[in-house]
Chains A and B, each alone.
Chain A
Amino acid sequence: MAEAPPPMNLQQLALAIPLLPLAAAALIGLVRPIGRRGGLAAVISIAAAAASLGCALALLSRTAEHFVLRVPWLPVGGRTLAEVGLRFDGISAPMLVVVGTVALMVQIYSVGYLSDEGAGPRGRYFTWQSLFLFAMQGFVLSPNLLQLFCFYELIGLCSYLLIGYYWERTSAGRAATKAFWITKLGDIGFLVGLLVAWTQYKSFDLETIQHALERGPLQSGAWILPALLFCGVASKSAQFPLHVWLPDAMEGPTPVSALLHAATMVAAGVYLLVSTSFLLAGAPEVSTVIMYVGAFTAVFAAIQGAVQHDIKRVLAYSTCSQLGLMVAAIGAGSVMAGYFHLVTHAFFKALLFLAAGSAIHAVHTNDLRQMGGLGRGMRWTGLFFGVGMLALAGIPPLSGFFSKELILGALEEHPVALALGLATTLMTPYYMGRAFLLAFTGKPRSQSAEHPHESGWLMRGPMLVLCLLAIVSGGFLWSFGRTIHEEAELHVSPVGFFGVGLALLGLGLAWMLHGPRKATIDALPKAVLEAARSSLVDNLYVFGWKHVLYVVAVVTAFFDRYIVDGLMNLLGWAGDKAGGALRRVQTGLAPDYVLALFLGLLALVAWGVWGGS
């Protein structure tokens, strides 16, 4: 009787998760004949993503066999300064599945969305998509701070490349570089954090640091590392004031927005916070700051989302706002709440983006003012967007309700943050309802909105999967809790009911103001609109660049070329002039030379007669 084959080695499965997409990226990117064929590139990329997801799912049930794999990477001082490796445990396992699922769905969707692009650009697209998946999964599996940083930056790179997919548009190029710069600004904090970690713990390894802290907390300066790491979190997860890149990132194709700027890349910051949450135990001040930054961002972004005309920007600000809630929850002490909201948010936000993309694809515009009544011709898309909207609003029994509950529960003890969180709970359904109603109900407001065609099944299929996940993933709460070793207590508190009430209120408001009967575009008072649309932070950044940094640069360049170099030129000029002056001695007249001869002779004689003694 043949024995059942042994189960595949855990390590190999874990390694396959990031390496399969990397292989796909290398294949598509470096082998020109493959890269040139858009269809083949798509197939390879999707196959790799699917296989990677399969490995992640296989591993999901085996988190009890957690392990850390370390390979020496930087030999310094005769020892190993830093390693690379894998960390598979209860924290990384769920994220791997979430990322893998959304990435696969987005890639399949992309085939339909980009069907009218050229083959070459599509090859480029799937190269970067696979590279991103590699970077993201590698990030999730990182066992130490340095590797987290490395993959963090690689994720930023892929974001840059994908936002700049339509590079022939000036706005796309600007958005991509802006995203890179703002995230790099926050990453400086992350980098300094690495150095601080080395000074404080003599190691970058998360497990080592955690054990060190368990043995005994730091004497002083325990707040420095989490504060610096939060700089990195704030940049990638678009927290105030480093949020300005996210709305502009919508220049990229909608599937990119769905994957990177809703579900995964921006969630990487939150995941970083989750992974290093053990550092917050010894730094309550930092936790408080994180909570307030998150809560403020949530409200701030929600207000801005309510006044946008571009459907993608509504969703972008919504993402920013929800990330704020996640961050606030973790700051308030509940890693469970933040992480679970990350999971549910990934599903329904990606769904929302894909549905929006479907609408955009049909109408060829992002502008809500030109949409309207799309629900009639695009029933599926309208349904998906509606489900996503309800999930985001936190209507039970959709998944968003559970994660919102947890977050509000976590904020219960902090009245200010709770108030901000509840305000968000009110505004979120409002702006989402507005977007839904303006786009899918009412009368069509433009030619192309009159006869929209529903998307093909390549685009509907992934949306359907995400829709189902958005509905049922609330039920994963308890197994999720078990996996990450946290208490999943979902106490249905008065706050929770209040939250649901607010959600319904928000939806009702949206219906009243933007429903098919009234269908106003901008219902808020003018002053609020102006204030919300003013991009103060953005303007500050632009000012800082144009009128500070660039000016300093020009002055420095001028100083270097005309003063420092001028000094060298001056030396040359002086040498030239001195030579010219000395040249006058050489008159070419023989009598002058004879005179010099005699004077020298006299001097010699004088020295001989009176000097020599």
Chain B
Amino acid sequence: MSEIHFCLLLAALLFAIGVFGLLTRRNAIGILLSVELMANAVNINLVAFSRVHGGATGQVFALFAIALTVAEVAVGLALVILLARTRKSIDVTQARDMHG
């Protein structure tokens, strides 16, 4: 099944890029974008396996995931706006009041 390998590889690559972005980006919106990347990588995985097994389970799952991701991004952007308003900056390294 070489087809599935390419899809999985692509998904893994996207996920890795997403994780890297998540861990290293300072910009809050950048982090959100990275999370999007990770979510979409997972979606690719789901659709790929759906094609392998036949049936629509994976695709349905992916649709749900997209919907949830949209909701999550909405909330996330709201938080970013709040952060921007209160701290005049969306650099996450600036928000460390809860340190030990």
Contacts and interface: CB of A to CB of B under 8 A. Distances in A.
Interface of A: 582-591, 594-595, 598
5 cross-chain pairs, A with B, having the tightest CB-CB distances, nearest first = A588-B99, A586-B100, A588-B96, A583-B100, A588-B98
Nearest to B95: A590
Contacts of A590: 92, 95
B99 A586 contact: yes
A598 B23 contact: yes
B23 A595 contact: yes
Nearest to A583: B100
Interface of B: 19, 22-24, 31, 92-93, 95-100
A588 B22 CA distance: 16
B92 A598 contact: no
A588 B92 CA distance: 10
A588 B100 CA distance: 7
Given A589-B92, A590-B92, A591-B92, A598 B100 contact: no
11 contacts: A584-B100, A588-B96, A588-B99, A589-B92, A589-B96, A591-B22, A591-B23, A591-B92, A591-B93, A594-B22, A595-B23
Contact of A587 (B19, B22, B31, B99): B99
Nearest to B31: A591
A186 to B, nearest CB: 66
Contacts of B99: 586-589
A583 B98 CA distance: 11
Nearest to B96: A588
Nearest to A584: B100
Contacts of A582: 100
A587 B98 CA distance: 8
A583 to B, nearest CB: 4
A588 to B, nearest CB: 3
A106 to B, nearest CB: 81
Q: Which of A587, A589, A595 has the most CB of B within 10 A?
A: A589
A586 B98 CA distance: 8
Nearest to A595: B23
A584 to B, nearest CB: 7
B25 to A, nearest CB: 8
A588 B19 contact: no
Contacts of B97: 588
Contacts of B22: 591, 594
B72 to A, nearest CB: 15
B76 to A, nearest CB: 12
Contact of A598 (B19, B31, B93, B96): B19
Contacts of B23: 591, 594-595, 598
A588 B98 CA distance: 5
Nearest to B92: A590
B5 to A, nearest CB: 20
